Structure 1
């Protein structure tokens, strides 16, 4: 009798297994706004609405799942081959619809709020990516690995990032404060507050963001306001088309940073994008602040 029962149970299991009716556990992931998402299986079609989100998805193990992205999504090299659906501040809704994404990864402080809401209204699932701390970068990679079905890869990348962060902390211990003005744009003159991860980069290097306490992530500031703050150093986020920014500061020798020749370029991608590469930008920031300390302190 026991043998018969065992045979029946074994047979039922085989039927469920062969016919694909074995119940698969749901996948759960949480975005940077705390919204929990449930997926029946790994996501196969994703659209990224921000360069940093594209880079994070690749870091988490994405390969061909990204079917659309925005301009300036240029890292890693494979990202350049993905079809564009607009810019981060204005996307083509019809083109997005034609891609039939299962998930859209958006950037709350960079994308149009109106367009994000429209995408939600159209029934698309929108996962927000907005890392504000170093640890958020690691957490974002792990969460993306969950819905991509690449948890092992994502966990390894996340752990390596945190290990490198720890090593960098030992290399650059707490030092005397250096007052920093970070330039994100020249006309109008714009900076980043401590609501952006760049504030943590500056603080990590024992710096003080002179406009860190502003409520807006990327506020406009006047040259008069910069003169009033009189920073020790000016760090300008550079790309190939921004080389003239440094020369523009030469006429403002009333500024301590200009008078002491402490106006430096930094690769904007390595500081502004909330990805594992931000540790490269952090190291460069710390090097600049150390130069300031050694020469005029």
Structure 2
């Protein structure tokens, strides 16, 4: 969306959007970066997500005098800001500016429509073994709030805290949401009336402009929950 598509020379595993990204050379994954593969592509700019598994490789690339842009959005506005910043770095300010403005407008539209609706208690399940959720600092929690939801674990420390099933049952969420990377079937064994829903990980757990597609789905899920018992 920042207008950089033709300039991208490589990507990590699971980079699959837009479809053209699937044809790019792979230089690693979220746990390991192949420095030689990156250097062979002779990039002018590295766009990186801070991750314990790749931080050393990214730091090494910076030491080699390759420009590194680190992106770790904690707010939806941070995503719009990232689009604009990339446009500046890549010389595509006009296209990036339009994309950032469209993102902000869509986010504002969702906020106006849903954020003041009656609150719905939500548990977001990132992973099932071990059981991991998101705290209030995570951008997914901001999406929940945008939709008028209440993250039942917003007050926990850390960005993605580990919890147990008893804590979830005590929190008594009305809706449990997870991505398509996990199964929520285990919750069916418990005597709860909680609604179970899944959203594609690419639309909710990747902090890109498409997160608003995931947000729109979540908002509809919570709106449905408000009308059912």
Q: Sort the TM-score into its range (normalised by shorter chain).
A: over 0.9
Give the TM-score, by structure 1 length.
Answer: 0.72
Task: Choose which of 132, 138, 150 in structure 2 pairs with 1:196.
Answer: 138
Give the TM-score, by structure 2 length.
Answer: 0.93
Task: Choose which of 235, 238, 241 in structure 1 pairs with 2:177.
Answer: 235
| Mapped pair 1:149 → 2:91 | yes
CA contact (8 A) 2:110 2:147 kept: no
CA distance 1:65–1:110, change in 2 (3 Å):
farther
1:20-35 equivalences under 5 Å are none
Choose 1 or 2 for highest CA Rg. Answer: 1
Question: Post-superposition shift, 1:97?
Answer: 1.7
Determine the C-alpha separation between the residues in 2 that align with 1:110 and 1:131: 16
Task: Choose which of 32, 48, 53 in structure 2 pairs with 1:106.
Answer: 48
CA contact (8 A) 1:180 1:232 kept: yes
SS class of match (2:228): helix
Q: How many pairs does the alignment contain?
A: 229
| Paired position in structure 2 for 1:206 | 148
Determine the C-alpha separation between the residues in 1 that align with 2:198 and 2:115: 23
Task: Choose which of 172, 188, 195 in structure 2 pairs with 1:250.
Answer: 188
Structure 1 unpaired stretches of 5+: 1-58, 254-258
Task: Choose which of 160, 177, 185 in structure 1 pairs with 2:119.
Answer: 177
Structure 2 unpaired stretches of 5+: none
SS class of match (1:68): coil
CA contact (8 A) 1:172 1:286 kept: yes
Question: Post-superposition shift, 1:173?
Answer: 4.3
CA contact (8 A) 1:137 1:274 kept: yes
Question: Post-superposition shift, 1:171?
Answer: 2.4
